[in-house]
Structure 1
Amino acid sequence: MTEASDFGPGAQVPLAGAAGQTAATCALASAAYRDDEVTKILEANNDRYKSTVKPPRPWAKIFRPRLGEAFSRAVIDRMLGAGRAPVIQSFGVEPQVVVEHCLAAQHLRRERDLRLTAVTVLCGLLFLPGFLMWLLVFTLRSHVGKREDKRAGALATALLFGVGVLAVLLLIGLPLTGFWVWYARGAIVMPVVGWFWAKRICERSARELRERWAALLSGGGVGAKIPEAVPGSPGDAAEQIRKDLTRLSAEQQSNSVFYAGPKGILGMGTRWGSWQLAEELVSAEPGKEFHPFRSWDVITAIQGGLAMLERTPINTGGFPKPSIKHWIVTPVGENATSVSRPSGTDVDAYIVKPHAVQEICNKQQFGSGDRHYLGVQWTLWDGHLVITMLVTVTVLHETLRIEVTGHALGPVHPLFNEKPAAKEKEVQKALRFWETRKVKLPLVDTDEVVRLAARAPLTWYPPLLNWLGGGLTLPEPFGLRHVWADQPWRHRFMADDALRAATPVLRVVHAAALKVLRENGVDVEKFGSRAAALSGGVQEVSPKKADVYDA
């Protein structure tokens, strides 16, 4: 198989193209810039896919990551890491754009951490005794302040105030001569100066990250800026990023998907409906055999009919242009944690070649092995709804079976659509103590400045930082879209769109199949009666758990 990294153009700056700027893509990309607690992403877990958050070491909570930091690191490591496992296609989303925004967010944080590291060295490591003393005070203050007891906050503030008073008294009481005396003064003062300096750096970075977060969710189409992804010479890190992004794009175009039992086809969602047309193949002329044909002949005719779905005799909106594709479906276990894509001479750039697709369609209809499906797919609601109708044709002995199944992938979890909110809290009014009012909080508080300054020197070696502060573990088999998708049936109009697509697709499939049968001299009376019955029944279609067999 040709390496995916060889398909793309030469050195370039990966930019988010207009095609990728859909609502679902931007919603997922915005998570890279968020400053919520990392545990917030657990709200997006569903009954099939669950992210997990590794907690920090009990004595190293100051190194814990925020949501954007953990999300960016986890996605980059999973999607671009060396020797990574295959990822599932993200229908309705441009995964390369999401990864590019994770790289861009990581670049912004790296610039911030570089400045914070300089501050830490100048105002911290050079005055290590004072730095450790203040770090211990802030850690104790943070630990005490997070207790549920209302008096804990006042106690934490009193602790910090008391240490500050002692520091001032110590400054006044020290003699005025001697190197170590002045060093002691510097050890008391410089970490405080460094904190104010670091606070300005953190506030500027937080504003920039929040602006990009808000712009993505407002439809601003903000692009990902990744200066380090511009290759300077063959073989450098930027060249590897370019190759990894090209490989990711090639994998997104693969025609190989995986069926995971009750989880449905990974990336397409669960199967909510199934309709079968199965009748005996009998010649239309008694005593004379019909012309032999293959499953591929029927599939080709159905493909031609599906291509006309966007046409209608009435001037209405109707169907948008669908994506029609031949899929090779590989079965995997319901609890499989990884998948393996087809390889060999019949596969090129993760795509099974047409002659191999045709052979699977005609021969692999019973027993083990991959199966062939013809899919017609619509991406609607700016990527929040993906409707897929799959068609398979099998011939066993003298029975022709045409099966149509419906799959629907719902919207991205609402968590990813939350815009940045101003930080504020409710306090009691001074006079009317029975009433409350909202007061604005600093964008970056004291604890956050200390956390970022402590993490900054370690961000250059992520394994140690992850060991200390924990991180985010993504569900497997991983794909950016399906692991954070909601069910479409909770949204009335999305549910209507999925259900309405079934009837015209089913009728087009039946009409194309009957035409092929007639042309080859097959008696279509029973097929026609069965198709009419299915056409009547599908008018009252309702979603079911078609992949869960009650046996």
Structure 2
Amino acid sequence: MTVEDFFGPQVPRTGGAGQGPTFALASAAYRDTPMEEIKKADNEWHQSTVNEGRKWAKIFRPNFGEAYSQAVIDRMLGVGRKPLIQSFGSEPQVVVEHCLAATRIRRQRDITLTGIMLLCGVLFLPGLLVWLLVFQLRAGMARTDNKRISGLGTGLLVAVAALAVIFLVRMPFAGVWGWYARGCIVAPMAGWFLAKRVCERTAKDLRERWDGLLSGGSIGAKVPEAVPTSPDQAAAEQLRQSLARLSAEQQSNSVFYAGPKGILGMGTRWGSWSLAEELTPVDPVKGVHEFRSWTVVRAIHEELTVLHRQRLKTGGFPEPQVRHWIVTHVGEGAKEVTRPEGTDVEAYQVKPRAVEDICNGKQFDGGDRHYLGVQWPHLYNGSLILTMMVTVTVLKETLRIEVTGHALGPVNGLFSSKPEAPTKEVAKTVRFWETRTIKLPLVTTDEVVRLAARATISWYPPLLKWLGGSIGLPEPFGLRHAWADQPWRHRFMADDALRTATPVLRAVHRAAFRVLKEHDVDLEKFSSRSSVLSGGVQEVSPRKADTYDA
């Protein structure tokens, strides 16, 4: 484990192989679509929740990017947060950095909007309250399915505007109060005009970043507040440490098995092949030369690390990642996980000696288990994560070697959708039976009012979430698996997953037989059983291997 793995980078990272899911998840921080769209990304095992907030405060409702950024920052960097699930095939720190960068851009916009609200709104508070009430009623009416009621909202706005014009022309007050009353009508409207320009400039910037991430551009996340420049910057140092902790947890060798959900972060188990035979000595007099499970596992590890090497120059496997994993069982409906702690754990890593002890001693009854995994986390630009897990147990004189396949598919297509310019189809003036497409403003009138209203209390996010609502992330939370689809609908992904099983299984058996032969074990039964498995694995098909019909 390198220093960078533990402490994390001092500046945001960009680029690199297999960054498709990372940039897709990061792009959500810049989106301006409705918050409810997050429900479209839910899968069979993980569902997000949408907190509607107060029904009478629709004007404070966040959009997708605002709610997503705040939810991810709170969940992944919050003080006393729950443990996270590793995001294989992506870099969660980069996603969090983009959420911080998007929040920083919006905060700068909100500071400007707050100044405009103070000058053009608070100083003319009666007029501001009237205009906000009108837009609040209009926003509530617009969200109903009844077109007649939603049309009344626009009619209400037009009627109030007409009354404002009449009020200006025939002012019932004179002197200073008359001019103040005129200011209460005009100043909020002038403030809206200035606020619209600020909102349009920020919206254009956010959309360019959204599009740039999905187009493969190296859009960096600027987070200067995460790099302390002096010892007295406590907030910056705390943020830097939180990002370092996130990076360290991403490198943890501890994972969790959640029943039919499979291994969290690696996907469901779609196949399983077991080789279990009695350890019979070649020479009954000498017996079997004693060995332990770790001896077999170490040989398998060596064999799997060279899985990408072959004599035929016809392509083949990319170099895999081979690691020892400590697997903890959690319930299918568990809402949180607990990582191993104690003297055997350092920086979220179970120490090598403890891994060996678990491999040799924890093979029955409760407790954590050892698995040896060979993983390809960056296939299809990170959209497919293939993991083959190997576990070796010895009970009585029976050696059991089990190989299981896990697959996690691409991130839901919602996160890969690029921004579209708002348009509307209208009838042509002369050829009224034909339609034409016109461009709509990037920021609508209602959106300007919403952003200006939110800006006044943006300094206190809890109140903003209580009023407008928020997104609840699926638990146990990990950025990659929370919104992952199954890979079986993609023909090539499914084929690659199935093709992986045969060479991995044979490599595991080859390494195990070499150890057994060195320790004077009769290989006849093992060879026969291995031949049967080698034949059966050629007709492999994905199935729900963790669902038992008992």
TMscore range, shorter length: over 0.9
Equivalent-residue separation in structure 1 for 2:16 and 2:244 (angstroms): 16
Whether 2:220 is the aligned partner of 1:223: answer yes
Q: Which residue of 2 aligns with 1:314?
A: 312
Task: Specify the SS of the correspondent of 1:271.
Answer: strand
Amino acid at match of 1:446: T
Answer yes or no: is the 8 Å Cα contact 2:17–2:381 preserved in 1.
Answer: no
User: When the two structures are aligned, how many residues end up with a matched partner?
Assistant: 547
Alignment deviations for residues 471-515 of structure 1 (CA, whole Å, 9 cap, x no partner): 000011000011100000010011111111110000000000001
Q: Which residue of 2 aligns with 1:434?
A: 433
Q: Which residue of 2 aligns with 1:78?
A: 75
Whether 2:133 is the aligned partner of 1:136: answer yes
> 5 Å matches for 1:370-385?
370-379=368-377, 380-385=379-384
Task: Specify the SS of the correspondent of 1:458.
Answer: coil
Change (3 A) 1:315 1:20: closer
Equivalent-residue separation in structure 2 for 1:72 and 1:289 (angstroms): 63
Whether 2:505 is the aligned partner of 1:497: answer no
Task: Specify the SS of the correspondent of 2:16.
Answer: helix
> Which of 86, 108, 112 is the aligned partner of 2:109?
112
Indicate the larger mover: 33-42 or 433-442: 433-442
Change (3 A) 1:5 1:127: farther
Task: Specify the SS of the correspondent of 1:224.
Answer: coil
Answer yes or no: is the 8 Å Cα contact 2:24–2:214 preserved in 1.
Answer: yes
Q: Which residue of 2 aligns with 1:389?
A: 388
Amino acid at match of 1:500: R
Whether 2:167 is the aligned partner of 1:170: answer yes
Identity %: 66
Answer yes or no: is the 8 Å Cα contact 1:39–1:53 preserved in 2.
Answer: yes
Indicate the larger mover: 152-161 or 349-358: 152-161
Q: CA deviation at 1:288?
A: 2.1
> Which of 261, 264, 277 is the aligned partner of 2:262?
264
Change (3 A) 1:288 1:433: same
Change (3 A) 1:468 1:150: closer
Equivalent-residue separation in structure 2 for 1:453 and 1:424 (angstroms): 24
> Which of 315, 318, 329 is the aligned partner of 2:327?
329
Change (3 A) 1:314 1:85: same
Change (3 A) 1:213 1:128: same
Equivalent-residue separation in structure 2 for 1:149 and 1:361 (angstroms): 63
Answer yes or no: is the 8 Å Cα contact 2:14–2:218 preserved in 1.
Answer: no
Equivalent-residue separation in structure 1 for 2:146 and 2:340 (angstroms): 58
Answer yes or no: is the 8 Å Cα contact 2:262–2:546 preserved in 1.
Answer: yes
Whether 2:6 is the aligned partner of 1:16: answer no
Task: Specify the SS of the correspondent of 2:393.
Answer: strand
> Which of 275, 278, 282 is the aligned partner of 1:277?
275
Q: Which residue of 1 aligns with 2:36?
A: 39
Amino acid at match of 2:411: V
Equivalent-residue separation in structure 1 for 2:261 and 2:23 (angstroms): 25
Equivalent-residue separation in structure 2 for 1:206 and 1:450 (angstroms): 14
Change (3 A) 1:53 1:147: closer
Equivalent-residue separation in structure 1 for 2:4 and 2:15 (angstroms): 23
Equivalent-residue separation in structure 1 for 2:213 and 2:162 (angstroms): 46
> 5 Å matches for 1:279-358?
279-358=277-356
Q: Which residue of 2 aligns with 1:236?
A: 234
Q: Which residue of 2 aligns with 1:466?
A: 465
Task: Specify the SS of the correspondent of 2:548.
Answer: coil
Q: CA deviation at 1:227?
A: 2.1
Equivalent-residue separation in structure 2 for 1:494 and 1:477 (angstroms): 26
Q: Which residue of 1 aligns with 2:549?
A: 550
Amino acid at match of 1:435: E
Q: CA deviation at 1:56?
A: 2.2
Q: Which residue of 2 aligns with 1:454?
A: 453
Equivalent-residue separation in structure 2 for 1:40 and 1:247 (angstroms): 30
Q: CA deviation at 1:236?
A: 1.5
TM-score norm. by structure 1 comes to 0.96
Answer yes or no: is the 8 Å Cα contact 2:5–2:248 preserved in 1.
Answer: no
Q: Which residue of 2 aligns with 1:486?
A: 485
Answer yes or no: is the 8 Å Cα contact 1:6–1:243 preserved in 2.
Answer: no
Mark the runs of 5 or more structure 2 residues left unpaired by the alignment: none
Equivalent-residue separation in structure 2 for 1:30 and 1:220 (angstroms): 12
Answer yes or no: is the 8 Å Cα contact 2:14–2:219 preserved in 1.
Answer: no
Amino acid at match of 1:509: V
Answer yes or no: is the 8 Å Cα contact 1:268–1:482 preserved in 2.
Answer: yes
Q: Which residue of 1 aligns with 2:400?
A: 401
Answer yes or no: is the 8 Å Cα contact 2:325–2:371 preserved in 1.
Answer: yes
Q: CA deviation at 1:20?
A: 7.1
Equivalent-residue separation in structure 2 for 1:386 and 1:161 (angstroms): 55
Alignment deviations for residues 281-307 of structure 1 (CA, whole Å, 9 cap, x no partner): 011123221210010000000011101
Q: CA deviation at 1:14?
A: 3.1
